[in-house]
Amino acid sequence: ADFVAEMTNPSTPEKNKWTIFVDGSSNPQGSGAGIILENGEQVLIEVSLGLTFPTTNNQAEYEAFLAGLRLA
């Protein structure tokens, strides 16, 4: 038996579905990140962040994800 298939609910209510898009960037001059939150077809929030601490590209993207969760 496939545990994941058995425990996954195949029907997700679309009316309450939010989607988060994030991207992070890092270079020697600084780091930043972008966040977009959508509810279906409607864009609810668009934010760009300037990070005040040194990061790698992946760390900047993770910071964007965490900030997006806080905004939601």
This prediction has a pTM of 0.73
All residues at 6 or more sequence positions from 51 whose CB lies less than 8 Å from its CB, including other chains: 30, 31, 32, 33, 60, 63
Using alpha carbons, select from 24, 22, 10 the residue that is nearest to residue 54: 24
Q: pLDDT band at 4, cuts 50/70/90?
A: confident
7-31 per-position pLDDT tens digit: 777 666 667 788 999 999 999 999 9
40-66 per-position pLDDT tens digit: 888 999 999 999 999 999 999 999 999
- Asked if the model's pLDDT at residue 2 lies above 70, the reply is yes
More confident call, 4 vs 46: 46
Q: What is the pLDDT of residue 12?
A: 60
Domains parsed from the chain with CATH numbers = 14-71 (3.30.420.10)
